[in-house]
Structure 1
Amino acid sequence: MTLTFAVSGRTVAKRQASGRAVRRTLTGWAFAGPATLVVVGLSLFPAVWAFFISRTKWNGIADPQDIGWRNYERLAQDPDLAAAAQHTLVLTALFVPASIALGLLIAIALNQRIRLIGFYRTCIFVPYVASAAATGILAGYVFNPQFGVANDALRRLGLPTQQFLENPRQALLVVCVIALWGEVGFTTVVYLAALQDVPRELVEAATMDGAGRWRILLSVTLPQLRPVTLFTTVWQTITALQLFDLIYTTTRGGPMNSTQTVVYYIYELAFQTRRLGYGAAVAYLLFAVTLLLTALAIWRSRRSGEEAF
């Protein structure tokens, strides 16, 4: 009889615990559910609609004409898309390594115990939280060939002035410099947080073994930062592939289309030449490339055991 009551009591307790868990779950979803539906709806609906648009010939006004996969077949034969992809690859190849290297160096400098360290950290992060459009407009004045600050500094140093954003050979490099100004604060903050999580026991053990600062940095600190480096590489690659606002506010893809990236080419197709169907197809191509790169990074992270994602 006593055993029966004990088993019955445990059963009731389990049911009560299960009921409380269900109520907590339902309460959580009652708060988070509406916002989740809005976010998912605003993400999935445009993506699905854009896919159907990519299979049509549509100018946004007349009725769309279903043309099947012809927009996707044209992707491999479009010289403007090939040029935009080349510019995007060059920008990515310049921007990603530079942002990671600068972010790491600045983070190491800001990880020291110096006066006004909080002020310095804030100054580094401010350009990242500032509007990218405002950064582009300001950069347009800085690199103006006639009255810009950059050329004024070159004159004072006795160096020849440059055309910067008006020179097809220099414009993409200048855009990369502007992008670094706005984005290096992100990698700096990420690396700074990672540096503060490096076990001090490893550093102290290396110091006791006679290792100098450079040896500790190369053999202890950098290996501990591999997951963070992988994460920032993927993040900055996606940032470079989707760079639009700086292009729009500085060069508008010029001069002579030298800074026309894939994202800006999509904008021109969809909103300037009104070729919405083909623009949606190019957008899906960019989405596929971005998804593939992210999937490869996650696969490598899990295979190597580095918890980057």
Structure 2
Amino acid sequence: MPRLPTPLTLPDGGHDDGRGGERDHEHTATHHDDNTPHGSGNTRGRHPGKRPGKHPGARRRGALARGESATAWAFISPSVLVILGLSVVPVLWSLLLSFQADDLVTPSRWVGLDNYRALAQDPHFSQAVGNTLLYTVLYVPLSIGLGLFLALVLNRRIRLVGLYRTLIFVPFVVSATAQGVLFSFILDPEFGAANSLLQHLGVSPQGFLTDPGQAMFVLVAISLWSGTGFCVVVLLAALQDVSPSLIEAARLDGAGRWHLLRHVTLPALTPVTVFLLLWQTINALQVFDLVYVTTKGGPLGSTTVIVYFIWEQAFKNFTAGYGAAAAYALALALLVVGGVPRLLRARVNRRTEGAAR
């Protein structure tokens, strides 16, 4: 039987792997350690007054990390510049502008809080706030309620359910400008298809967007046509995520459809419903495109919302400082809308943790 070859053992001073210098250094350090008396303070061959040098591998890793950071910043710098240029800088500039009297042409002058005091006394701004609140109060609960109803219907196994879901979601994809143009033709008091249909049904023609008593409700109806699809998609996804075991257990206990909806389905949809409530409220407070295309704030200011009021003051009346003050009043309202639910949720979590303890 052939014998296995005897492994070669290199001497301590061997340089076969390119690391002989390190071995010599370790050997010398060990030799110094053996000859150094205890308590002298010199360890591993370090001489007094000399600082140990940085290991070449550590220097290499540091240079590599710096190179990776530079590469990362090179990739994200365009996005950072866009965010700074289109978000941060305009926000700070408009904040300073809200304390000035500026018409975007002549040099501005500092007026302090005068713009905000004028807002508090402006009846047109009060009307815009009232119109925005009315639109929000009507649109938000109706869109969520109608979305929940349609989601419950489309959550069943019916024929062509995929087609129905697509048709309901398609209006959400259409831009607000296109919606405004479309419904301006349909709801035209003289030549629109809506009044033509009402005439065939024996109903007198309506003013729709030209009637101060109807214009806001018509805008809400148009927004429901387009915005309900988003609520349907979100709630439908949440419904399909409800545990089937909970529903089956409730049915075995004798629960009917109403009890299933009230005690099983709706509690499971609570987080999604809170999200939709916050999302739809923010969108309603910022409505502008639909108003601009259809009514331009009329008739008689019945559809002038806050964002349209800001645009009108800044770019139509050329009172940019006053418009910036109105914009920050809206920003404060949005901050309250977004912050209050978080505070309430944090308080509920603290109470829950306290009860668990």
| Matches for 1:183-262 after TM superposition, within 5 Å | 183-262=227-306
- Bigger-Rg structure (1/2): 2
Q: Tell me, in whole angstroms, the C-alpha distance in 2 between the residues paired with 1:282 and 1:54.
A: 8
1:97 to 118, 121, 141: 141
Unpaired segments of 5 or more residues in structure 2? 1-57, 350-357
Q: 1:213 to 1:28 in 2, by over 3 A?
A: farther
Q: Give 2:237's aligned amino acid.
A: A
Tell me the CA shift for residue 221 of structure 1.
0.2
Q: Tell me, in whole angstroms, the C-alpha distance in 1 between the residues paired with 2:269 and 2:287.
A: 26
TM-score, scaled to structure 1 = 0.88
Q: Tell me, in whole angstroms, the C-alpha distance in 1 between the residues paired with 2:104 and 2:331.
A: 22
Q: 1:53 to 1:255 in 2, by over 3 A?
A: same
1:117 to 161, 164, 180: 161
* Superposed CA offset, 1:273-297 (max 9, x none): 0000000000000000111111002
Q: Tell me, in whole angstroms, the C-alpha distance in 1 between the residues paired with 2:77 and 2:343.
A: 30
Q: Answer 1 or 2: higher relative contact order, Cα 8 Å, separation at least 6.
A: 1
Q: Tell me, in whole angstroms, the C-alpha distance in 1 between the residues paired with 2:188 and 2:285.
A: 26
| Matches for 1:1-309 after TM superposition, within 5 Å | 31-32=75-76, 34-305=78-349
Q: Give 2:207's aligned amino acid.
A: Q
Tell me the CA shift for residue 208 of structure 1.
1.0
* Superposed CA offset, 1:70-117 (max 9, x none): 111212111110011011111111111101101111111111111222
Q: Tell me, in whole angstroms, the C-alpha distance in 2 between the residues paired with 1:171 and 1:24.
A: 58
* Superposed CA offset, 1:248-272 (max 9, x none): 0100000011101111111110010
SS at match of 2:275: helix
Q: Give 1:163's aligned amino acid.
A: G
Which structure shows the bigger proportion of residues in helix conformation? 1
* 206-215 or 144-153: bigger deviation: 144-153
Q: Give 2:255's aligned amino acid.
A: A
Identity within the alignment, %: 48
SS at match of 1:61: coil
* 264-273 or 18-27: bigger deviation: 18-27
Tell me the CA shift for residue 41 of structure 1.
3.8
Q: Tell me, in whole angstroms, the C-alpha distance in 1 between the residues paired with 2:226 and 2:169.
A: 9
> Is 1:227–1:301's contact at 8 Å kept on the other side of the alignment?
no
What is the total number of aligned residue pairs between the two structures? Answer: 293
Q: Tell me, in whole angstroms, the C-alpha distance in 1 between the residues paired with 2:226 and 2:70.
A: 42
Q: Tell me, in whole angstroms, the C-alpha distance in 2 between the residues paired with 1:144 and 1:28.
A: 55
Q: Give 1:88's aligned amino acid.
A: T
Q: Tell me, in whole angstroms, the C-alpha distance in 1 between the residues paired with 2:68 and 2:167.
A: 43
RMSD (Å) for aligned C-alpha atoms = 2.4
Tell me the CA shift for residue 32 of structure 1.
4.3
Tell me the CA shift for residue 33 of structure 1.
5.0
Q: Give 1:230's aligned amino acid.
A: V
Q: Tell me, in whole angstroms, the C-alpha distance in 2 between the residues paired with 1:37 and 1:299.
A: 33
* Superposed CA offset, 1:158-214 (max 9, x none): 222211111100000001111111111111111111111111111111111111112
Q: Give 1:63's aligned amino acid.
A: P
Q: Tell me, in whole angstroms, the C-alpha distance in 2 between the residues paired with 1:172 and 1:91.
A: 7
Q: Tell me, in whole angstroms, the C-alpha distance in 2 between the residues paired with 1:185 and 1:272.
A: 34
* Superposed CA offset, 1:36-76 (max 9, x none): 44224421111000011111111111111111111112121
Report what 1:8 is aligned to: none
TM-score, scaled to structure 2 = 0.77
Q: 1:177 to 1:59 in 2, by over 3 A?
A: same
Q: Tell me, in whole angstroms, the C-alpha distance in 2 between the residues paired with 1:187 and 1:124.
A: 10
Tell me the CA shift for residue 149 of structure 1.
2.0
Q: Give 1:86's aligned amino acid.
A: G
